[in-house]
Chains A and B, each alone.
Chain A
Amino acid sequence: MLRLVIRRLLQLIPTLLGLSVLLFLWLNRLPGGPASAILGERATEADVARINRALGLDQPVYVQYWRFLKRIAELDLGTSTQTGQPVWDEFTLRFPATVELSIAAMIIAVVVGVPLGYLAARKRGGWLDVASVSGSLVGICIPVFFLAMILRGIFSVELGIFPSYGRLSTGIDATSVTGLATLDGILTGEFDATWDAIMHLILPAITLASIPLAVIVRMTRASVLEVVGEDYIRTAVSKGLEQKVVRGRHILRNALLPVITAIGLLTGSLLSGAVLTESVFTFGGIGSFIRTAIDARDYPVLVGFIMFIAMIYVLINLLVDLAYSLIDPRVRVH
Chain B
Amino acid sequence: MTAPIETTSASAEAQPEAVLAGAGRSQIEGRSLGQIAWTRFKRDKAAVAGGIVVVCLVLMAALAKPIQAVFDLDPNKFNQDLVDPALQAPKGPWGGMSWEHPLGVDPGFGRDLLARVIEGSWVSLLVAVGATLVSVLIGVILGVVAGYYGGWVDSVVSRLMDTFLAFPLLLFAISLSASVQDGFWGLTGLPLRIAVLIFVIGFFAWPYIGRIVRAQTMSLREREFVEASRSLGARGPFIIFRELMPNLVAPILVYATLLIPTNILFEAALSFLGVGIAPPQASWGGMLTDAADRYEADLQYMFVPGLAIFITVLAFNLLGDGLRDALDPRSK
Tell me the A residues contacting B by CB distance below 8 Å: 14-15, 18-19, 26, 30-32, 137-138, 140-146, 149-150, 152-153, 157-158, 211, 214-215, 218-219, 222, 262, 264-272, 275-276, 279-280, 290-291, 294-295, 297, 299, 302-303, 305-306, 309-310, 313, 317
Contacts and interface: CB of A to CB of B under 8 A. Distances in A.
Q: Chain A: interface secondary structure? A: helix
Interface string B291-326: 110011001001000100110011001000000000
A268 B174 contact: no
State the main secondary structure of chain B at its contact with A: helix
Given A149-B306, A276-B273, A141 B314 contact: yes
Contacts of B310: 141-143, 146
A324 B7 CA distance: 20
A270 B309 CA distance: 20
A264 B166 contact: yes
B170 A275 contact: yes
A15 to B, nearest CB: 5
Interface residues of B, number: 46
Contacts of B94: none
A142 B1 CA distance: 11
A145 B302 CA distance: 10
Contact of B302 (A19, A149, A309, A317): A149
What are the nearest 4 A-B pairs in CB distance? A272-B170, A146-B306, A302-B175, A271-B168
Contact of A137 (B167, B181, B273, B317): B317
B268 interface: yes
Contacts of B288: 143, 145-146, 149
Contacts of A32: 181
A19 B275 CA distance: 23
Given A31-B179, A272-B168, A143 B274 contact: no
Given A152-B295, A317-B166, A144 B273 contact: no
B172 interface: yes
A140 B314 CA distance: 9
Best-surrounded residue of A32, A137, A138, A158 (most CB of chain B within 10 A): A137
Contacts of A142: 310, 313
